Structures are given as C-alpha cells and as structure tokens.
Chains A and B, each alone.
Chain A
Amino acid sequence: MTIQQQVQTIRVRGLEKSYDKLDVLRGVDFDVARGSIFALLGSNGAGKTTVVKILSTLLKADAGAASINGFDVATQASEVRETISLTGQFAAVDEMLSGWENLVLVARLRHLDDPDLIADELLARFSLTDAGARKVSTYSGGMRRRLDIAMSLIGNPPVIFLDEPTTGLDPQARIEVWQTVKDLAEGGTTVLLTTQYLDEAEQLADRIAILHKGRIIVNGTLAELKQLLPPARVEYVEKQPTLEDVFLALVGSGAKDSATGNHRISEERP
C-alpha cells in the first residue's frame, strides 16, 4: 500500500510563508500518495502546523502551490474542503455538548442524511457509546481525542490531516490513535500527520519527511532514512524493558490494541 501507486493525492511545491519578518516556510515540496500515511516530522516551531493550515485552507501561502486531489488550495478552496478533514493540534470538540451531539453537529454541517445514525455508529466504532450522552467536558484526554478523530471521519473524506494527534495522550490512548490511523489508511484514506515523536513516525508512516527551519531536509521511507546514517553495527546490549513496556505490562488490559505488535509486552522478566 505504499509508493507503487503513483497517484499523488497531495502535491506541495515551493510553499513559502512568513509572519511579519519570521520566515516559517522557506520553500516546502512534497507529495503524498493516495492511501498512504505521510509523516511530517519536526521540532516545535518547525512549521508543521503552518503547512497543515495552508493545506486545510485556513491560511494562505505567500508563494508556491499546493493541491489536494487536483484541487488548488488557494483557488478551489471549497472543493478542497469537500475533500479533506482536519484534526487540529488541540481536540476541537464542543465541551458543552455531549459526544453524540458533537457528532450530529458535524454530520448536519456536512449536509448528510441521517445524522443520528452516523453519530450512533461512530460512537460504537470509537468505544464511546457509554459516554455518548455525557457532556464532553467530563471526558478524559484520550476520549476527547477519539471523539475529535471520529468527528473528522464523518462524511468519509478521502484525505485527513492530523496535527500532532497524540500530543498529551497517555501511552494507551496513543496506541488507540495509532490503530485508528492504520485502519484509516487500510481503508484507502490518505493521511498526512505531523508529529514531534520519532517513534510515532516510525510506527505509522509509509514516508517520513523532516521539516527543519522551514525546509524539508529529508524525505523517504524509514528504510531510506536509515541508510542515510552509517550502517548498523552489531552490538550486544542487555535488553531492558522501557518504562513504557513496564507501564503497559502492569496496566495491561487497557492496551486493547497490543495486537498491533508495536509494543512487545513480555511476560517474563529479563
């Protein structure tokens, strides 16, 4: 499901943006193939959110061009909005409404038939049925993020932007979000995600681009990126469990999606 398909859903060429005198983007180019997961990796302030905002028609670029499914983000903004869904850096949910009402709200705004049914189905899919009638202000961070992503899936947009989807989540909630993202890509959705966590890009992405000081400095698959460094040496190191391994092993059952194989939760102690 990776780069064999030459259909580029997202095309970005020479994107530039500055705020006052601060050059945030200084010529950004990349492509994202249909149905793939593309990770934009960078530290805080690298310009990741600015790229996402330009692609989701919230911000205009100073120079360069970007298109989604062939629609130009600057001149065909409303077609682009039909195609995409944005999950921003902070869970954009309505605190005063229940989870169910949030989903119905988005379904209505997307002018879909039977918003109630759509809301019920998404609550079930994201294990939020029991909490569906509760006000979102009572939700945990992980539940909020799940609801946020559920809201983004309404109307089955072919392209989804996830801006730092797991920032601030506990390890179990992170794994849940990762599984959701993988499921999306398997279903044919093109996913552009930004992250500052290296392991997140490593786990999820078909291609990884590193955005640094307003430019993409490398862009490739994980294997390609690894070849940029000197070849691996064989060393014998005692395999200590990471704190995350320990945490997940102890908390155990909550990490439903450990079937992903991302984290080996070993029973035996070394």
Chain B
Amino acid sequence: MNTHFFGDTAVLLGRSLRHIARSPDTIITTTIMPIAFMLLFVYVFGGAINTGAASYVNYQLPGILLITIASGIAYTAFRLFVDMKSGIFERFQSMPIARSSVLWAHVLTSLVANLISLAVVVLVALLMGFRSGAGVPAWLAVTGILILFTLALTWVAVIAGLSAKSMDGATGFSYPLIFLPMLSSAFVPTASMPGPVRAFAEHQPVTYVVNAIRGLFAGQPVGSDIGIALVWCIGILIVAYAFAMRTYRRKVA
C-alpha cells in the first residue's frame, strides 16, 4: 500500500505547486498583510516604541514573519477545502494510491508556498533597512524554526480544511493566529503591558519563537528561549497532527 507513497506524493505535490504558479495572487495576498503591518509598525508606531534595541525594523521582523505564516496557512485550508468540495479528493481516495499522500502533498505545498512568502517579506525588510550579522548557522537555525512553525500551523490548517462546512470557516480560523503575535514580545516589550496581558504574553509560544529568532538574527546567545520555542512548536505539531488524522479518518472510512 505504501510502496507508492513517495511517488504519489510527488505527483500530487507537483499538482498543487502548479496551482500556486498559476495563481501567484495567493502568494501576493499572503504577503500583503504582513508587509502592511511592517510598514505601519516601522514608519508609524515604531518611533514611539522604546524597545531598547538600536533598530526597530530588526526588532519587529520575527513577529512579522510569524504573521506571514499565519496568513499563508489560510490558503492551505482553502486548497484542501476546495479539493473536498469539488469531489477530486474523493476521486483520489477511490484510486489505488497511497491515500495519505493526498494530505502530505497539501502539507508540503504549504511549506513551499510559505517559504516563498517569507523570502518576499524578508526582501522587503531588507529594503526597509533590516540588517543581520547572523552567520550561516544562525540563518539555518532561523529557517529551521520557521519551517517547524509552518508545519505545526499547517496541520492546524488541515483540521480546518477537512472539517469546515463553508469557505469562511475554512479560512477564518487563521485570524486569531494572525493576531497572536500582537499579544507577544513581537512588537512591544512585554514589560510595558499590564499584569494579566503581560502574563499571557510572556508565556505564550509566539514570544519564545520571536525571542529565539530575534536572538539568532542579532547574533546573541538565545539561551532557553530556543529550547522552549522548539518544545512549543513540536508540541503543537504533534497535537494538531493527531487531531488532523482523526478528522481525516472520520471523513474517509
């Protein structure tokens, strides 16, 4: 049964990548909101925020990257939902293929699409003055964390795409995820927040991920932040994967 897993996944991945190549608007709309936030924060709010850091562009980029991912995975749910509704999902499931490759192709497509979006956002940040002294290992570490974060949220998107009853339901789940970085250390130091908000901000996963990426970009030791960030990402990944598979099994007998 699984002898064709890699071949089938590759064929289906090629199919969804073709979708992206033919509708580059999905990449553009994914990056528009994070870029707009970046412009707003850097050129409007940034001047009034005292972060203690030399460059606010550098300070806010990690949070913007996470917003990019949160907005990108909405399209993963969208593509999955369209496949479910159009009947092509059932066509694939009734064929002699490795069945799970249908889901994995969507997951890998999500990864590719998000990496392209992230590259676009980083390029815009460079134009806006973002600079990093990080070496190759630190950049690789940042890429690794972003991939892990994307995979974790992608499996959340798979749950939404599989179980949604409407298009709005399939994509709407991402809005809270997009705003989660606002309630973290991404744009404002948490020390400036009132008690309960600060307590939430300091203990939610985005803060650890943001601090780890910020430290890596700045070439500073990242200490325990990166460990906790990894634990959060892997934890979300495992739980979301388990729920996604449960939803999937309920959908296809």
Contacts and interface: CB of A to CB of B under 8 A. Distances in A.
A81 B96 contact: yes
B130 to A, nearest CB: 34
Nearest to A109: B97
Interface string A100-123: 010001101111000000000000
B127 interface: no
A25 interface: no
Interface string A196-215: 00000000000000000000
B7 A93 contact: no
Given A56-B94, A81-B95, A96-B18, A88 B87 contact: yes
Given A96-B18, A97-B18, A101-B18, A89 B87 contact: yes
A191 to B, nearest CB: 15
Nearest to B8: A109
B11 interface: yes
B94 A81 contact: yes
A96 B21 CA distance: 10
Interface string A221-237: 00000000000000000
A81 to B, nearest CB: 4
Contacts of A186: none
Contacts of A151: 91
Given A58-B252, A59-B253, A109 B88 contact: no
A59 B250 CA distance: 9
A59 B96 CA distance: 16
Interface string B5-45: 00110011001001100110000000000000000000000
Interface string B176-187: 000000000000
B52 to A, nearest CB: 48
A58 B90 contact: yes
A82 B1 CA distance: 11
Contacts of A108: 11
Interface in A67-108: 78, 81-82, 84-86, 88-97, 101, 105-106, 108
Interface string A31-65: 00000000000000000000001001111100000
Given A88-B87, A91-B87, A92-B90, A106 B95 contact: yes
What range describes how many residues of B lie at the interface? Answer: 20 to 34
A93 B94 contact: no
A111 B93 contact: no
B248 interface: no
Contacts of B18: 96-97, 101
Contact of B92 (A90, A91, A109): A109
A97 B15 contact: yes
Contacts of B12: 109
Given A81-B94, A109-B8, A111-B7, A92 B15 contact: no
B224 interface: no
A111 B88 contact: no
Interface in B74-93: 86-88, 90-93
B15 A78 contact: no
A92 B87 CA distance: 5
Contact of B253 (A57, A91, A95, A105): A57
B10 to A, nearest CB: 9
Interface string A165-176: 000000000000
Contacts of A93: 86, 88
B67 to A, nearest CB: 27
Contacts of A59: 253
Contacts of A78: 1, 96
A64 B92 CA distance: 25
B4 interface: yes
A96 B97 CA distance: 22
- List 4 tightest A-B contacts by C-beta distance, closest first: A92-B87, A60-B253, A92-B91, A86-B94
25 contacts: A53-B90, A57-B93, A58-B90, A58-B94, A58-B253, A84-B94, A85-B95, A86-B90, A88-B90, A88-B91, A89-B87, A90-B87, A92-B88, A96-B18, A96-B19, A96-B22, A97-B15, A97-B18, A105-B11, A105-B15, A109-B8, A109-B11, A109-B92, A109-B97, A151-B91
Given A90-B86, A111-B7, 6 more contacts: A56-B94, A84-B94, A88-B91, A96-B23, A109-B97, A110-B96
